Each structure stands twice: as C-alpha cells, then as structure tokens.
Amino acid sequence: MRHLIVANWKCNPVSSKEAQRLFDAVAEGIKNINNVETVICPPFLYLSDLKSGASSVKLGGQDCFWEDKGAFTGEISAKQLQNLGVEYVILGHSERRKYLDESIEAVNKKIKAALSTKLKVIFCIGSQTKELGEEMESQLEKGLQGLDKSDVADLIFVYEPVWAISTTKDKVTATPKETLAGSLFIRKILERLFDERTSQTARIIYGGSVDSQNIEGFVREGGVSGGLVGAASLDPDEFVRIVKKVALNVKS
Ligand code: PGA
C-alpha cells in the first residue's frame, strides 16, 4: 500500500509569502523521495499560488462544499478545487465538528461531491474518548452512506482520536498499539459495510501529534501507512524529517 503523509496547515500561516516559503522548503527537502506520497493542505486562498510551482508535492483542500456552484456564501466547491488542479480534500476533521458543528450528514454529502469530481478524500474518523465503539462506528456508517465499495479506493481513512491531537487540552499521544487497534476497528466496520477485500485494501493513516520521533512506530507497528500532520507540518525541517522517516521504512 502506498504510504502517504499529509500536512494539514489548518488556519496557518497568515501571509502568502510565508506559505510559499514553507511550501518551497518542504518541496526542496523531499525532492529525492519517490516512495512516499506527500500532500500539503494549505488554507484555500494559497492553493492557486502554490500550485503554479512545479513540484512533487501534491495539494489538498481542508474542506469543500457539496454543490458545484451557486448561492452558498463563503463556500468553496469540490468542483472549484478540482478545476484548480487540486487532487485531495480533507473531510470530517474533528475541528470542524467542534468549532462549526459540522454534522456527519454534511460530511457524507461532501464526500459524495468530492468523489464525483474525482478528488481523493482524506476522511477523518475519531472519538473523544479512548473507547473504540459507537462514536466511530456511526461516523463511518453515516459518512459512507450511499457509497459503493468501488468508492473506497479513492478514500484515505484517518484514524484521528481527538484525545491525541496536539491542541487538545491534556492530550496524550497515541501509542502504535492504540493506532493499530484504531485501524483494525475501522477495517472491521468497513468489512461489515462493504466486504473483506475492501476492508483489507483500504488505506488508513493516523493523525494526532505526529512528529519525527513517533512516526516510525506508527508505520512499523501501528497498522497505518502514513500520517496526517498538523502542528509539526508548520516546521518545514521537522515535516521533511517525518517524510524521510517514512521513506526509510517503506519497502520499495
Ligand atoms: P496535530 O493535528 O498533528 O497538531 O495533532 C493533527 C490533526 O488535527 O489531525
């Protein structure tokens, strides 16, 4: 399974100049790495500038709207991202649930719109507590409602436990054992919703305080083939170290 590292810049940085500097430093740092897919998801307004430079780094949005166009003030559609040459979109991030009350029904509509415009969806799933149960099960069931098993090939599942995100109060970093349990739980639900083959071939990565010290453990023993990186993606040297650590652990 192809390994993937996604930078989620969230609402950072505050200027396009800084965004370009960050992007260029990452692109330069990983230019010789071919065995890890690297995606940067900056705020929307930097996407077109960053896109114009030739680089092996791919771009993703941090959200998208489900209609192509129309009277939806403030929204950016999946179609608009696709027309810009963006290939990925993060959907269902826990910060959108927390600060914007985003419902899983809305995420489901966004997933369908993104897939129908040929964007690859980075779908975040995770619970508030360490319990692997109803909360995640419902996110998967409702988030994937109406999808066919063939759609799963264009999804990347992120096991993103809220308790492990760097900005969560009293956060605790997950262990590889915990990410393994989380990824197996996701596979179990996917098997029930689709079938065994779909479940076994689904791409799963981990998000929550990923850094260059812990990423190896996750990809070696944690049942995931990469990471969604928030805070550490804002430091280009650290982010490049993360990608390199994954590259070293991938059998080519
Ligand atoms: P973090 O963010 O790496 O800062 O914990 C990860 C995420 O939001 O998924």
In tens, the pLDDT along 167-203 reads 888 888 899 999 999 999 999 999 999 999 999 999 9
With a cut of 70, list the residues of the chain below it in pLDDT.
52-54, 252
Q: What is the 3-state secondary structure (H, E, C) of 46-96?
A: HHHHHHCCCCCCEEEECCCECCCCCCCCCCCEHHHHHHCCCCEEEECCHHH
Ligand 1 pocket member 228 (CB < 6 A) = yes
Report the greatest alpha carbon distance in the chain.
48
pLDDT score, position 52: 63
Question: 153 CA distance to ligand 1 centroid (A)?
Answer: 24
Q: Domains of the chain, with CATH numbers? A: 3-248 (3.20.20.70)
Closest CA to 126 of 153, 92, 76: 92
Residues in the chain, total = 252
Our answer on whether the CB atom of 242 is closer than 6 Å to any ligand 1 atom is: no
| Residues 55 and 63: beta-carbon distance below 8 Å | no
Name the closest-CA residue to atom 1, ligand 1: 230
Q: What is the per-residue pLDDT for 42?
A: 98
Q: Extract the tokens encoding 91.
A: 């959907």
Ligand 1 atom 9: the closest Cα is on which residue? 207
| CA–centroid distance, residue 205 to ligand 1 (Å) | 12
The residues annotated with a catalytic role in the active site are 93, 160
Ligand 1 pocket member 209 (CB < 6 A): yes
Residue 7 confidence (pLDDT): 98
> Average per-residue pLDDT in the chain?
95
What pLDDT score was predicted for residue 193?
97
d(CA 3, CA 218): 12
| In the block, residue with structure tokens 């436990």 | 161
